[in-house]
Amino acid sequence: MDDEAVSDAIAACRLLFGQAVMEIVAEDKPVTREAITEKIHRMFTGIESEPVMRLAISLLKNSAS
Range of the domain at 56: 3-64
Domain count of the fold of the chain: 1
**How far apart are alpha carbons 4 and 56 in whole angstroms?**
16
Residue 61 has pLDDT above 90, yes or no: no
Model confidence pTM above 0.75: no
Alpha carbons within 13 angstroms on the beta-carbon side of residue 22 total 6
Residue 32 has pLDDT above 80, yes or no: yes
The pLDDT tens digits of the residues spanning 8-29 come to 777 877 888 899 999 999 999 9
